């Protein structure tokens, strides 16, 4: 071979390797339904929840977005088309640049689910997942994706990959614990850095995730509300029902345990509790001490069984590092117990350990199979993986378009100005940078307040959350001051992501009244200047002004919506709550007028899932023969909210087109009608926007 031929060959090889190293892998989870258009009617909320997309380049996590942040449906099951689009935009890529797609369940498992659904709905055409995913990519993104680039990944392996390969550990015990994978509820792995080896699994009949869900439902809540039970538990005494709960499980040798037979837990739990006079709580009913004791027993039993499993496998393997994933790993009280147990030297919890995080794991499985990058990867230190708020010029133009409702200023030093506002007692909506991946607001889409006054807990709740009074708010503290305020165990816990409940130091509990739970605990976030410089500087400066570098930090959203994502979400959330001030990037925003009466210059639009209903109905039970007309608005997804509306509101909404200002619709805008409209905006049945040109999709879809 002559030198010229060799040079050309080496050039081609180099080009191939360069392309290989720049390989883009897309990870997905969620089902194949579009918002407002289920594949089959009334699709169960447990099917393919927490939809998300993740983009990995050369093993490096480039972007990760939950679909709920974009379609504004909490814990959405819908296909993550919006999330895919945002991931590609962040990466500066187009659909054609994607080399492979990882999906978070095996193909036959997914198709078996569809086959069961088709049996129950014989009029629905029989189609299967690969065809439908490819079709969804075409409809949502204009992407004619070849079906062979789609790779299916075992569910627990996807969880394990995301939590282990983001832990920064070499040798580790890797435990995935959730409601259910294909056949398992818990899977145990060990890893030496070179490989991830499954060593044990527990069948779905022993699911701690489902056990906790049954307890959650007994308390009048539903799927996705488990964290509320965790917040209620410290108010209760687990000994009240300890003997009762002991009938629901037994611990065996070698980390084994038994629950009552699958499908029987909920009935057994209900029947046993009924024997003791505790009926299931109905949603909306007040909580009694018995309910609190019950919640404490659910939490205690879950911890006892989980620690039984973890203790055995820690001893059996001799491994001193734990990477813990799956939905159960979001039980931060359990995580705190693991941390303080001394079983491990280091514990890592992925910030998105629920099913959204398995989209990343699916991408990593495909990337690993293709030989990308040296493994393991560096530890994940930031969850700021979603879309940002755009450039400052665009942001300023958007804020100006809302000028009938808000005043905007741009201080010389936004952190200094915000620290002084917080020190003066203001409750602030705080939005900057890229949004967080996972259920926690970690300083980029947060509501912030002084952590010291106990009344701030009630105040923030009344202003924004409208949630149960027993649920605690979390503190954020600087890394430099964390040990001065919180008992942080010697075990390395990586408190970046609010994953662990720890004890507030006894001498600081009265001081930190707004963030100390009834049992003296707190789900603390420790912020460093390396991972979030602006947020770290804010907490530091607040500490310099007040002597206490601790803030109350809760997610920026009201009770009707997911955490805010876009500038429009941020403004809507601020304007429909009682927060004192909004700080968005370098701007301070304040309301300038009473809202309901100032909406006539704005447009009203509908979400894709918004539906209006008008039909004949009885006027009242006392006048069964007198006909009337009944009007309703609802959001068309599983367990979506509904509201009765006035005839005048129905008339207004049938005229609204999202373009014409309310004042020009030809409908009389009374104060009463505008107040009703404002309420619908608060509950996110409708959208309110300034008059502006429609935006186009970057790919013309």
What is the reported pLDDT for 7?
A: 41
- Read off the tokens for 367: 């990337």
Asked whether residue 621 falls in the same domain as residue 539, the answer is: no
Asked whether residue 310 falls in the same domain as residue 451, the answer is: no
How far is the C-alpha of 93 from the C-alpha of 144, rounded, in Å?
15
- Read off the tokens for 647: 């005839």
How far is the C-alpha of 89 from the C-alpha of 190, rounded, in Å?
36
Q: Which residue, chain included where needed, has tokens 């909920």?
A: 266
**Phi/psi-derived region of residue 121, left when phi > 0, alpha when psi is between -120 and 50, beta in every other case:** beta
Under DSSP, the state recorded for 281 is: P
Q: Which residue, chain included where needed, has tokens 């055409």?
A: 125
* 543: CATH: 3.90.870.20
Asked whether residue 129 falls in the same domain as residue 41, the answer is: yes
Domain end: 323, 349, 375, which one?
349
| Domain that includes residue 209, residue range | 167-349
Nearest partner of 189 among 42, 373, 321, judged by Cα: 321
Asked whether residue 146 falls in the same domain as residue 249, the answer is: no
- Whether residue 103 is contained in a domain is answered as yes
Asked whether residue 624 falls in the same domain as residue 565, the answer is: no
Asked whether residue 480 falls in the same domain as residue 574, the answer is: yes
Say if residue 97 is exposed, middle or buried (CB neighbours under 10 Å; 0-12, 13-18, 19+): middle
Query: 3-class DSSP state for residue 103?
Result: strand
Asked whether residue 201 falls in the same domain as residue 121, the answer is: no
How far is the C-alpha of 102 from the C-alpha of 150, rounded, in Å?
6
How far is the C-alpha of 665 from the C-alpha of 673, rounded, in Å?
14
- Cα three-residue angle 659-664-668, rounded to 5 degrees: 125
Q: Is the separation of the CB atoms in 478 and 503 below 8 Å?
A: no
Q: Pairing relation of β-strands 581-584 and 428-431?
A: parallel
Dihedral of CA atoms 217, 219, 222, 228 in degrees, nearest 10, equals -130
Q: Is the separation of the CB atoms in 217 and 295 below 8 Å?
A: no
Q: Alpha helices of 39-80 — where are they, by DSSP H?
A: 68-71
3-state helix, strand, coil in the chain (%, to 5): 40, 20, 40
pTM over 0.85, yes/no: yes
How far is the C-alpha of 477 from the C-alpha of 436, rounded, in Å?
18
Neighbouring residues of 372: CB distance < 8 A, sequence distance ≥ 6: 20, 21, 23, 25, 58, 59
Under DSSP, the state recorded for 599 is: G
Q: Is the separation of the CB atoms in 676 and 646 below 8 Å?
A: yes
- Cα three-residue angle 636-642-643, rounded to 5 degrees: 140
Cis peptide before 13 (omega within 30 of 0): no
Number of domains, the chain:
4
- Angle between helix axes 671-682 and 647-655 (nearest 10 degrees) is 70
How many other C-beta atoms lie within 10 A of the C-beta of residue 580? Answer: 19
How far is the C-alpha of 312 from the C-alpha of 309, rounded, in Å?
6
What is the reported pLDDT for 659?
A: 94
- Whether residue 361 is contained in a domain is answered as no
What is the reported pLDDT for 126?
A: 86
How far is the C-alpha of 520 from the C-alpha of 217, rounded, in Å?
27
Asked whether residue 234 falls in the same domain as residue 320, the answer is: yes
Q: Is the separation of the CB atoms in 451 and 515 below 8 Å?
A: yes
Under DSSP, the state recorded for 42 is: T
Q: Is the separation of the CB atoms in 197 and 393 below 8 Å?
A: no
Q: Using 50 as the pLDDT threshold, list the residues of the chain that sit under it.
A: 1-20, 693-701
Under DSSP, the state recorded for 436 is: B
- Whether residue 671 is contained in a domain is answered as yes
Domain end: 349, 383, 413, which one?
349
* 91: CATH: 3.30.420.40
- Read off the tokens for 3: 């030198």
How far is the C-alpha of 307 from the C-alpha of 337, rounded, in Å?
9
Residues β-bridged to residue 188: 175, 200
> Which secondary-structure segment (H or E) carries 259?
strand 257-259
Domain end: 543, 559, 591, which one?
591
Asked whether residue 429 falls in the same domain as residue 480, the answer is: yes
- Whether residue 444 is contained in a domain is answered as yes
How far is the C-alpha of 210 from the C-alpha of 23, rounded, in Å?
38
What is the reported pLDDT for 460?
A: 94
List the end-to-end C-alpha distance of the chain, in Å, as a whole number. 51
pLDDT in tens, 81-96: 999 999 999 999 999 9
* Beta sheet of 521-523, edge-to-edge order: 486-487, 501-504, 521-523
What is the reported pLDDT for 700?
A: 34
Asked whether residue 627 falls in the same domain as residue 585, the answer is: no
DSSP assignments along 453-519, one per residue: -THHHHHHIIIII---TTPPPEEEEETTTHHHHEE--SSB--GGGS--EEEEPGGGTTTSTTT--TT
- Whether residue 123 is contained in a domain is answered as yes
What are the Cα distances from residue 88, in Å, to 292, 578, 699?
A: 46, 36, 11
**With b meaning 16 or more CB within 10 Å and e meaning fewer, what string describes 237-257?**
ebebbeebbeebbeeeeebeb
pLDDT in tens, 463-482: 886 778 888 999 999 999 99
Size of the chain in residues: 701
Q: Is the separation of the CB atoms in 287 and 470 below 8 Å?
A: yes
Neighbouring residues of 448: CB distance < 8 A, sequence distance ≥ 6: 422, 427, 428, 430, 538, 551, 552, 553
Q: Is the separation of the CB atoms in 74 and 45 below 8 Å?
A: no
- Whether residue 364 is contained in a domain is answered as no
Under DSSP, the state recorded for 260 is: S
Q: Is the separation of the CB atoms in 52 and 71 below 8 Å?
A: no
Q: Is the separation of the CB atoms in 23 and 45 below 8 Å?
A: no
Q: Is the separation of the CB atoms in 201 and 184 below 8 Å?
A: yes
Say if residue 308 is exposed, middle or buried (CB neighbours under 10 Å; 0-12, 13-18, 19+): middle
pLDDT in tens, 105-163: 999 998 998 888 888 888 888 889 999 999 999 999 999 999 999 999 999 999 999 99
- Read off the tokens for 677: 């409209």
Asked whether residue 121 falls in the same domain as residue 194, the answer is: no
Asked whether residue 54 falls in the same domain as residue 102, the answer is: yes
- Whether residue 701 is contained in a domain is answered as no
- Whether residue 372 is contained in a domain is answered as no
How far is the C-alpha of 459 from the C-alpha of 476, rounded, in Å?
18
- Read off the tokens for 628: 């009337």
Return phi, psi of residue 449, to 5°.
Answer: -160, 170
Q: Is the separation of the CB atoms in 273 and 244 below 8 Å?
A: yes
How many other C-beta atoms lie within 10 A of the C-beta of residue 59? Answer: 20
């Amino acid at each position: 071979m002559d030198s010229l031929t060799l040079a050309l060959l080496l050039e081609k090889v180099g080009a191939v390797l360069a392309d290989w190293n720049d390989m883009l892998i897309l990870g997905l989870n969620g089902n194949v339904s579009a918002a407002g258009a289920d594949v089959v009617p009334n699709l169960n909320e447990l099917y393919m929840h927490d939809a998300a997309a993740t983009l990995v380049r050369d093993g490096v996590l480039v972007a990760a977005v939950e679909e709920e942040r974009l379609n504004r449906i909490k814990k959405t099951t819908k296909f993550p088309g919006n999330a895919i689009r945002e991931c590609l935009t962040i990466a500066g890529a187009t659909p054609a640049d994607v080399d492979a797609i990882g999906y978070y369940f095996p193909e036959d498992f997914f198709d078996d689910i569809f086959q069961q659904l088709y049996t129950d709905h014989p009029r629905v055409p029989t189609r299967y997942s690969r065809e439908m995913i490819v079709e969804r990519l075409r409809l949502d993104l204009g992407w004619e994706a070849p079906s062979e680039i789609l790779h299916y990944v075992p569910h627990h392996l996807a969880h394990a990959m995301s939590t282990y390969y983001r832990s920064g550990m070499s040798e580790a015990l890797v435990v995935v614990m959730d409601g259910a994978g294909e056949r398992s509820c818990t899977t145990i792995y060990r890893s030496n850095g070179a490989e991830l080896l499954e060593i044990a699994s527990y069948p779905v009949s022993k699911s701690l995730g489902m056990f906790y869900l049954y307890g959650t439902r007994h308390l009048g809540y539903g799927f996705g509300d488990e964290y509320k039970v965790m917040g209620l538990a410290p108010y209760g005494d687990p000994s009240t029902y300890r003997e009762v709960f002991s009938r629901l499980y037994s611990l065996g040798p070698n980390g084994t345990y038994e629950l009552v037979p699958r499908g029987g837990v909920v009935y057994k739990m209900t029947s046993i509790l009924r024997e003791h006079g505790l009926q299931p709580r109905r949603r909306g009913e007040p909580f009694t001490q018995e309910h609190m004791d019950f919640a404490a027993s659910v939490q205690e039993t879950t911890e006892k069984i989980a620690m039984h499993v973890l203790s055995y496998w820690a001893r059996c393997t001799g491994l001193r590092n734990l990477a813990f994933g799956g939905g159960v790993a979001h039980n931060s009280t359990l995580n705190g117990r693991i941390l303080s147990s001394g079983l491990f030297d280091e514990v890592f919890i992925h910030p998105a350990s629920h099913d959204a995080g398995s989209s990343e794991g699916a991408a990593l499985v495909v990337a690993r199979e293709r030989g990308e990058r040296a493994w393991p990867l560096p530890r994940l230190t930031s969850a700021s993986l979603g879309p940002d708020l755009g450039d400052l010029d665009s942001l300023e133009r958007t804020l100006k378009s809302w000028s009938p409702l808000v005043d905007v200023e741009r201080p010389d030093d936004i952190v200094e100005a915000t620290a002084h506002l917080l020190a003066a007692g203001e409750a602030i909506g705080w939005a900057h940078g890229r949004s967080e991946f996972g259920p926690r607001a970690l300083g980029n889409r947060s509501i912030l307040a002084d952590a010291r006054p106990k009344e701030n807990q009630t105040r923030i709740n009344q202003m924004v959350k409208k949630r149960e009074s027993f649920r605690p708010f979390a503190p954020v503290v600087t890394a430099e001051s964390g040990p001065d305020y919180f008992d942080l165990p010697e075990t390395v816990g990586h408190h970046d992501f609010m994953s662990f409940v720890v004890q507030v130091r006894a001498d600081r509990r009265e001081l930190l009244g707004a963030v100390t739970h009834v049992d003296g605990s707190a789900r603390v976030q420790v912020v460093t200047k390396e991972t979030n410089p602006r947020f770290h500087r804010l907490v530091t400066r607040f500490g310099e002004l007040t002597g206490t570098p601790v803030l109350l930090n809760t997610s920026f959203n009201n009770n009707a919506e997911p955490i805010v994502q876009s500038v429009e979400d941020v403004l809507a959330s601020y304007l429909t709550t009682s927060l004192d001030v909004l700080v968005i990037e370098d701007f301070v925003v304040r309301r300038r007028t009473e809202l309901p009466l100032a909406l006539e210059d704005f447009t009203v639009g509908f979400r894709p899932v918004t539906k209006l209903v008008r039909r004949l109905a009885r006027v009242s039970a006392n006048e069964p023969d007198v006909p009337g007309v009944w009007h309703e608005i609802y959001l068309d997804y599983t367990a979506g909210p509904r509201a009765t509306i006035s005839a005048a509101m129905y008339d207004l909404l049938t005229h609204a087109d999202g373009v014409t200002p309310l004042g020009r619709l030809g409908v009389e805008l009374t104060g009463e009608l505008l107040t009703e409209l404002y309420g619908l905006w608060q509950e996110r049945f409708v959208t309110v926007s300034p008059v502006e040109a429609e935006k186009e999709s970057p790919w013309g879809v």
